[in-house]
Amino acid sequence: MTMVRPTPAGPTSAGPAPIGPTPIGPPLARRSLLATALGLLAAPAIVRAQGDAPIRIGEINSYTAIPSFTLPYRNGWQLAVDQVNAAGGVLGRKIEVISRDDAGKPQDAIRLAGELLNEQKVDLLAGAYLSNIGLALSDYALQNKALFVAGEPLTDALVWEKGNRYTYRLRPSTYMQAAMLVEDAAKLNAKRWVTVAPNYEYGQSAVKWFKLLLALKQPDVRFVAEQWPALGKIDAGATVAALAQEKPDAILNVTFGPDLTNFVRQGNTRGLFEGRGVVSILTGEPEYLEPLGDETPDGWIVTGYPVTSVTDPANRAFITAYQARFNELPKMGSVVGAGLIRAIVAGIKQSGSVATEKMADGFANAGFDTPFGKASWRGIDHQGTLGTYVGRTALRDGKGVMVDWRYIDGADALPSDAEVRKLRPA
Amino acid sequence: MNVLLIQSLTGLATASSLFLLAAGLTVIFGVTRVVNFAHGSLFMLGAYGGWTILSALPRTPVWFAAGIVLTGLAVAAIGGLIEVMLLRRIYHAPELLQLLATFGVVLVLQDLTLMIWGPNDLSLSRPPWLRGFATIGGSRMPLYDLWLTAIGPAVLLVLWLLFTRTRWGTLVRAATQDREMVAALGVSQHWLFTSVFALGAFLAGAGGALTLPDASANLQIDLTSIVDAFVVVVVGGLGSLGGAFLASLLIGLLQAFGILLLPQATLALTFVIMAIVLILRPNGLLGRPQADVRQEAETVSLIGPAEPIVRRLGLAVLLAAIVAPLAVGPFLLSVLTEMLIAALFAASLHAIMGPGGMPSFGQAAWFGIGAYAAAFAVKSLALPIGAGLLAGTCAAGLIAVIVGAFLVRLSGVYLAMLTLAFAQIVWAIAFQAVDLTGGDNGILGVWPPAWAASPAAFYWLTLALCVMAILLLRHILQTPFGYGLRAARDSAQRAAAIGLNGPALRLMALALSGAAAGLAGALTAFSKGSVFPTYISIGRSVDALIMVLLGGIQTMSGPIVGALVYTGLFDALLLVTDLWRLVLGLVIIVLVLAFPLGIAGTVQRLSRQGQRA
């Protein structure tokens, strides 16, 4: 079958290339029908054969839909890319990121993944913020035998229930965030708990794991009420009143962003938090803490990033470089962006190649430096061991900060290997 | 008892906020008949502008009030500008085209707000007097919320006085009843409409600023608030201020008590309320039946068989589409596949909206049901792809008939909003029935089998199915059934007099439309390999609406042209610029001004004028 091709590169009737994404298996008899597709899919091999051409990372994220997280995240990965390249790149090649905005929709992310793989000839895919986009890309990666390295998506399904050979994920998952908080939560020795969480998968699994893990540590704990505000549309006054009515000893909060601001303001005015322990996931991240401003409650147990007070050299070096370039303090997104690039580079280095199958195996157990210190890719479930900080919120000079914090390694917040194997069928 | 009291007061405060949000929208609609999609954006500008203004003023109650008014005036100026520069030019365009123009404004304002105020949520620091509370029966109630409870009724009173006791108000009411007559009496409609639009924008701006003590200014406000605003306006009855107030009370209170009784119900509660109200009272709580708008004869000209030139053009495009896989790579093929599906999706909406006269803000419901049904068929029942596609088509068509039984009694924007309510309920089910649907994590691994898996094979499959479905729709709309449908749309009484059963015809059209949208959804499921609740989101429904309006509602080729232009523009802009919303919004605005009958509609009219000349 003849064809007109947009680019002159590549053999017109090639079968699957020895390296690079292999098209999923049509039988040989149909090959002629699919010659176009195969020919184009084979092209990455040609690009890659050019020795010192940059390694291309196709990056997709919700830049316009979630700018408060993704813009600092973009700064983070840009900084890391420049640092990696200044240090000579990896495998003797520079790295290059081709970035796309998915507009917050999985269906668009899938199309863009195709564009990046087929047109831009990227060597691997990376990125995502929303869990459903992370899962869509992970399934696309499995179907098309391409590597996908997720940065932010928190859903446990990404590495466990729906985990697959071609997907790695950097950030501590919902399970890990909950597990990190449970120890301090148990110390509150509170009997009656209430929960408030956004009404979608992230909120649901955070509440589920927290309940389960806390009950293991503190068998007499009782969860007496739940509130499930719609994401971005919390009716804060009514929610706070409904929680207060239960006269709880302690509260688990999973809301974040605009919902959190509304919840905290109503809770402060109505005295919901007075004399009660509050455990709150992600609230210590600058993205979510800053908008609370002088309303930041005192003494909430949170996960987050104490960017104003960390002292370890890796973190300080990152903060200094980030401030020098962007003239503002990094946020959690910046750490994820920078960590993602470094984790990918370390994986490529250990794989010794950018061939998908080599990377799918080679990333496992690769160690990397993040702004938070050393971490690695777990072989058993492809989860990164990047951890996070657990501490308490406090108000200093009219701003919210994290105090009494400690860093918890992600590896210490995961269940046993036997349990992980049960959770991850693939 | 105490809980009930606190929850009632909280509900009243919520109701007041809702009323402030919706009052401006209902005023604008009542007079100008513009479905102002940008109302939420004006509300968001109020929050951001209010943050800037209030941050600069002293933190006393008097200055706070002054800041709110100032913000309202600033947003009123912006609203006035939008009316003068954009809407004024398209009042004579077919109904709902103004919606398209204001959608362009929404996109533009999203990017402008991000550029001016940055990506971070901005919250206003509260001085002590804004943090005060009253202790009622041992529970605290924020003083500011008590103030809000009073502001709502006060605004209602002021607006009532304005409309009943001033000459301006009298003229506005007259224009609401009969625009032409008021114009004939020498009153400048332009000025009247601009002032009404500015008043609506003032209310939105002040309302947005009034949320600041309780909430941050953030970039999601526009879309979250616009839907609430529409719900209140429609439940109350379009254009009825008293109705909007009642609706706010109803929704605010039911929401406050709803989360006590059923905390999980937050996603769908307001839409369930809206659906029940509309089923019981098809014109909202206090709305009057919509007066028949005098239509221009040309805008409802009969759709006949395509003219020869259009046929030849269509055939050429089809031939090009068939051989496309020989010329383009897999990515472009995936874009073409999306365009084909979008064309079918738009055509499905057009079938009810154009010939059927039933606008829908919830077309994504059928699309999503089709996608989920297809996914269930192949994932849970392990059926082949053909059965999946059939299941998607049939499930959507069947459910459209069941829901349609409620829909066909309504008309205009009420009908559109009931479809939206239904779509949101379906969306909430997809979101919350995690065991069945996987919740927002969706259903993965819905890929086509090997024979259809290559981009080219799947493209050909899509091409064949979409073209057949579109031609079938087209054919059906030119049968006696189609003509009957249009007769019932244009003159319900005359159609009934010659024995046509309007509701039955509309129900059949809904079934067809649902099935076609279901097929589009099922194809999308296989093309993307996964199904998510975003397929049923409001954004997806709006996409369909935009495509139909952009192409031109009164031609058969309109939705196809609209789908190709909109999908192509969106896909291309997403690749080349971070500011795609700004550019897309501006392009939509320009297209609306250049093609007031839609692209295909305006081209058709121009070519016909050319032939006559």
Instruction: Label residue B382 exposed, middle or buried (CB < 10 Å: 0-12, 13-18, 19+).
Output: exposed
Which residues on chain B are in Cβ contact (under 8 Å) with A242? Answer: 7, 259-260, 263
β-strands B133-136, B443-444 pairing: unpaired
Contact B199, B97 (CB under 8 A): no
Summarize pLDDT for A366-393 with one digit per residue, the tens.
999 999 999 999 999 999 999 999 999 9
Say yes or no for a CB contact (<8 Å) between A270 and B447.
Answer: no
| Chain A / chain B CB contacts < 8 angstroms | 242
The reply to whether ipTM tops 0.95 is no
* pLDDT cut 90: percent of chain A above it: 84
Q: What helix, strand, coil percent values describe chain B, rounded to 5?
A: 75, 0, 20
Instruction: Label residue B498 exposed, middle or buried (CB < 10 Å: 0-12, 13-18, 19+).
Output: exposed
Q: What is the pLDDT of residue B612?
A: 60
Which residues on chain A are in Cβ contact (under 8 Å) with B326? Answer: 1-4, 36
Distance CA B83, CA A116 (A): 42
Q: Say yes or no to pLDDT of A18 above 60.
A: no
Say yes or no for a CB contact (<8 Å) between B330 and A118.
Answer: yes
Q: What is the pLDDT of residue B149?
A: 94
Contact A56, A120 (CB under 8 A): yes
Collapsing DSSP states into helix, strand and coil, what is residue A398?
A: coil
Contact B334, A114 (CB under 8 A): yes
Contact B220, A258 (CB under 8 A): yes
Report the residue from A103, A140, A258 with minimal CB separation from B529.
A140
| Residue among A199, A234, A332 with most chain B CBs within 10 A, to mutate | A199
By C-alpha distance, the chain A residue nearest B142 is: A269
Say yes or no for a CB contact (<8 Å) between B125 and A106.
Answer: no
β-strands A222-227, A301-304 pairing: unpaired
DSSP B437-450: H-GGG-EE--PPPH
Chain CA centroid to CA B418, Å: 11
The owner of tokens 């919901």 is A272
By C-alpha distance, the chain A residue nearest B576 is: A100
B291: phi then psi, degrees, rounded to nearest 5: -70, 145
What sign does the dihedral B545-B550-B551-B554 (CA atoms) show? positive
Say yes or no for a CB contact (<8 Å) between A295 and B126.
Answer: yes
Q: Say yes or no to pLDDT of B97 above 90.
A: no
Q: Say yes or no to pLDDT of A17 above 70.
A: no
**What beta strand segments (E) does B34-160 contain?**
133-136, 139-142
Name the pLDDT band for B215 (thresholds 50, 70, 90). Answer: very high
Cα distance from N-terminal residue to C-terminal residue, chain B: 78
Say yes or no for a CB contact (<8 Å) between A235 and B255.
Answer: yes
Nearest C-alpha of chain B: how many angstroms from A82? 21
Chain CA centroid to CA A422, Å: 23
Collapsing DSSP states into helix, strand and coil, what is residue B432?
A: helix
Contact A138, A128 (CB under 8 A): no
Which residues on chain A are in Cβ contact (under 8 Å) with B11? Answer: 238
**Order of strands across the sheet that contains A55-61:** A95-101, A55-61, A124-127, A148-150, A167-169
Which residues on chain A are in Cβ contact (under 8 Å) with B439? Answer: 200-201, 204
Summarize pLDDT for B12-60 with one digit per residue, the tens.
999 999 999 999 999 998 888 888 999 999 999 999 999 999 999 999 9
Say yes or no for a CB contact (<8 Å) between A112 and B574.
Answer: yes
More confident residue, B598 or B383: B383
Distance CA B38, CA B35 (A): 9
Nearest C-alpha of chain B: how many angstroms from A230? 5
DSSP B206-248: HHHHHTTTTS-B-TTHHHHHHHHHHHHHHHH-TT-HHHHHHHH
Question: Which residue, among A89, A111, A120, A117, has the nearest Cα to A7 in the 3D structure?
Answer: A120
Beta bridge partners of A271: none
Beta bridge partners of A194: A225, A251
Q: What is the pTM of this model?
A: 0.90
Q: Say yes or no to pLDDT of A5 above 50.
A: no
Collapsing DSSP states into helix, strand and coil, what is residue A222?
A: strand
Nearest C-alpha of chain B: how many angstroms from A426? 13
Q: Say yes or no to pLDDT of A45 above 80.
A: no
Distance CA B243, CA B245 (A): 5
Beta bridge partners of A374: A369
Q: What is the pLDDT of residue A172?
A: 96
Q: What is the pLDDT of residue B302?
A: 59
Contact B330, A41 (CB under 8 A): yes
Name the pLDDT band for A170 (thresholds 50, 70, 90). Answer: very high
Say yes or no for a CB contact (<8 Å) between B530 and A135.
Answer: yes
Q: What is the pLDDT of residue A8?
A: 33
Each residue of A107-125: b (16+ CB within 10 Å) or e?
bbbbbbbbbbbbbbbbbbb
The owner of tokens 């992370």 is A134
Phi/psi region, residue A401 (left: phi>0; alpha: psi -120 to 50; beta: rest), is beta
